[in-house]
Structure 1
Amino acid sequence: MALLPHPADEDEVTVETRDLFPSHLLFKIESFSLLSKHGIDKYESSEFESSDYKWKLILYPKRRKTETETETEDGTDHISVFLAVSETSSLPACWEVNAVFSIFLFNHKLDNFLSVRGRVRRFHTLKPEWGFSKFIQMETLTNPSNGYLVDDTCVFGAEVFVIKNKGTKECLSLLKVTDSFKREFKISKFSGVGDIWDSEEFEAGDHKWKLSMYPKGNGEEKGRSVSVFLQRIDLERHSSCKKIKADFYVRIKNQPIDGEHCKNGGSSWFSTFRVSLGCSRFISMVDMNDPKKGFVVKDCCIIEVKISIQAGVR
């Protein structure tokens, strides 16, 4: 049984056989034994294209040692084969390509290809090529019974599949909270507000907000409770943060200083799917409009908001 290639310099490789021809490069070498006699210790294939990049296969008839090696580990000669990005001068200064590739060797005897595939590799300016310094032993290649070299001819191939970075990127920034934003709004002529009152826009933690109050209730609480909501309104305009976590409260002040305020809030995430938080059943309409409770005095209501930004996701 023929010995398999020995890509020992790869962490993880898959070695298999297949009948299908390589889709990107087929590279035939005639009179293979004359390479060393003619002093050809390195040969680069013609360029081929895959995923909008130019590539080339580089063959070393005598093994190319890795940067950390001084001599072969087992004293055995190997063929080295590497894949390189070509025409790098036309690429951006900080280019990089993530790709998974396979290198093939045709078996004339079995009429199939031996395929060696490594894990995903990052090609970039400082590392424009990856491959196998021990792709196959010279003894295994040149032994006629193995079928890789017939009539002094062998055939290599290559396939490259680029992993294009189109995924979502996200960065969570946790903030050291030092200050909280707090603001009061006075609603005059409360009895004449109608179905909804919106505050003016205000800024807290570099984000824009507004308060909305439904004096006669919202949704299922319509006609029973006062509903109050805090809404982040800059999601489309504010591209730096798709999502933020905020501690907040909203309260309707009891205007006697020693009275109890009606308060609601918590800690939650505001995002494109959750731009508004609050309470439909903030306070009953009966309590809100009871002059003895102190929430509406001289047809004036005071609502207060406090916001502390904890984190942001970019």
Structure 2
Amino acid sequence: MGNCLCVKPATKDEVTTLNTREAPPAHFMIKIESFSVLEKYGIKKYETKEFVAGDYKCNGGGLNLYRRLILKFNGKDSDYISVYLAMADTTSLPTNWEVNALLSVFLFNQIPGNYLSSTGRTLCFQATKSEWGISKFISRRQRIFARRKKVLSDPSNGYIIDDSCVFGAEVFVVKRELVIERVLLTNVNTYYNHALEISGLYQLPQRWVCEEFDAGGQKCYWFSASNSSWGRPVYIDLATINDPNKGFIVKDCCLLNIEINVKAVARVS
């Protein structure tokens, strides 16, 4: 997965885990030039243009979901950059719509050429709450070895170079296409015996399958030792079974008795 950086917010119990990866975000990227102007003029947030990520299925049809990324730079906790995802247009959605989406936020590291990304978070967008995100995506400052160091704005970190930085986002809609399988296990624990008479033994082909028989409601077969898919591939040696003094084969005929112990039966629906 790559290197991992834990950015610790002011509260001890809140930790944002960031990973690095080579592939760029799949859905949206924004390049901010003259980044220092944001702080200089106290610009608190920027809302991107709309982009399509995922779709919403309703009544057999599908609607594209338009999103907008919101970057907040000088919020209540000015040590952090906040990144939010908002539904851009919900007029075509049903009254009580609900969309679950997996959001990952990215920041381009311009020195190695890879991306710092947040661990995907599942967000529930609703008619009453159409904006979700990460309030503390990355810190502008982080305490390292008992001193203050700028995590975002220090050019040596590679996130802001020539006063420019690149953010991105991936949004995957969690579609409700769940398949449910029901398994009913019945405790049987029953023995079944099946007698089988084989005539013309020496004229049988190398692989021979008997007629099916029932054991615990299941169709079973008996096949020759040359097929070792089930059972014992070596049951008795040819020298022993062909010895007329042993009595296993009489007049080119032999008798087999098959005993099956059915422990349980599984019924899948």
* TM-score bin (small chain): 0.5 to 0.7
Q: Which has the larger radius of gyration?
A: 1
Q: CA deviation at 1:42?
A: 1.0
Contact 2:107–2:116 at 8 Å: present in 1 too?
A: yes
Match of 1:167 among 178, 190, 200: 178
Which residue of 1 is the match for residue 135 of structure 2? Answer: 133
SS in 2 for 1:88: coil
Q: Which runs of 5 or more residues in structure 1 are unaligned?
A: 66-71, 171-219, 221-271, 274-314
SS in 2 for 1:120: strand
Which residue of 1 is the match for residue 165 of structure 2? Answer: 154
SS in 2 for 1:141: coil
Match of 2:21 among 14, 18, 21: 18
SS in 1 for 2:152: helix
SS in 2 for 1:62: coil
SS in 2 for 1:145: helix
Residues 59-86 of structure 1: CA distance to partner in whole angstroms, max 9, x if unpaired? 01113x5xxxxxx5xxx61111111111
The one-letter amino acid of 1:163's match is V
Aligned ranges for residues 1-314 of structure 1 at < 5 Å?
4-6=6-8, 14-52=17-55, 53-63=65-75, 65=76, 72=77, 77-138=79-140, 139-167=150-178
Residues 12 and 4 (structure 1), Cα distance of their counterparts in 2 relative to 1, 3 Å cut: closer
The one-letter amino acid of 2:47's match is E
Residues 83 and 3 (structure 1), Cα distance of their counterparts in 2 relative to 1, 3 Å cut: same
Q: How far apart in 1 are the matches of 2:19 and 2:158? A: 16
SS in 2 for 1:23: coil
Q: Which runs of 5 or more residues in structure 2 are unaligned?
A: 56-64, 141-149, 182-213, 215-267
Residues 85-104 of structure 1: CA distance to partner in whole angstroms, max 9, x if unpaired? 11123321111111111100
Question: How many residues end up aligned between the 2 structures?
Answer: 164
Contact 2:43–2:74 at 8 Å: present in 1 too?
A: no
Residues 231-264 of structure 1: CA distance to partner in whole angstroms, max 9, x if unpaired? xxxxxxxxxxxxxxxxxxxxxxxxxxxxxxxxxx
Q: Percent identity?
A: 50
Superposed CA RMSD in Å reads: 3.1
SS in 1 for 2:151: helix
The one-letter amino acid of 1:117's match is T
Pick which of 7-16 and 152-161 moved more: 7-16
Residues 29-70 of structure 1: CA distance to partner in whole angstroms, max 9, x if unpaired? 00000013334211001111011211111001113x5xxxxx
Q: How far apart in 2 are the matches of 1:83 and 1:156? A: 13
Contact 2:67–2:85 at 8 Å: present in 1 too?
A: yes
Residues 6 and 22 (structure 1), Cα distance of their counterparts in 2 relative to 1, 3 Å cut: farther
Residues 162 and 88 (structure 1), Cα distance of their counterparts in 2 relative to 1, 3 Å cut: same
Q: How far apart in 1 are the matches of 2:151 and 2:177? A: 42
Contact 1:12–1:118 at 8 Å: present in 2 too?
A: no
Q: CA deviation at 1:159?
A: 0.4
For normalisation by structure 1, the TM-score amounts to: 0.47
Residues 250-306 of structure 1: CA distance to partner in whole angstroms, max 9, x if unpaired? xxxxxxxxxxxxxxxxxxxxxx97xxxxxxxxxxxxxxxxxxxxxxxxxxxxxxxxx
Contact 1:2–1:146 at 8 Å: present in 2 too?
A: no
The one-letter amino acid of 2:79's match is D
For normalisation by structure 2, the TM-score amounts to: 0.54
Contact 1:100–1:117 at 8 Å: present in 2 too?
A: no
Residues 100 and 18 (structure 1), Cα distance of their counterparts in 2 relative to 1, 3 Å cut: same
Which residue of 1 is the match for residue 234 of structure 2? Answer: none
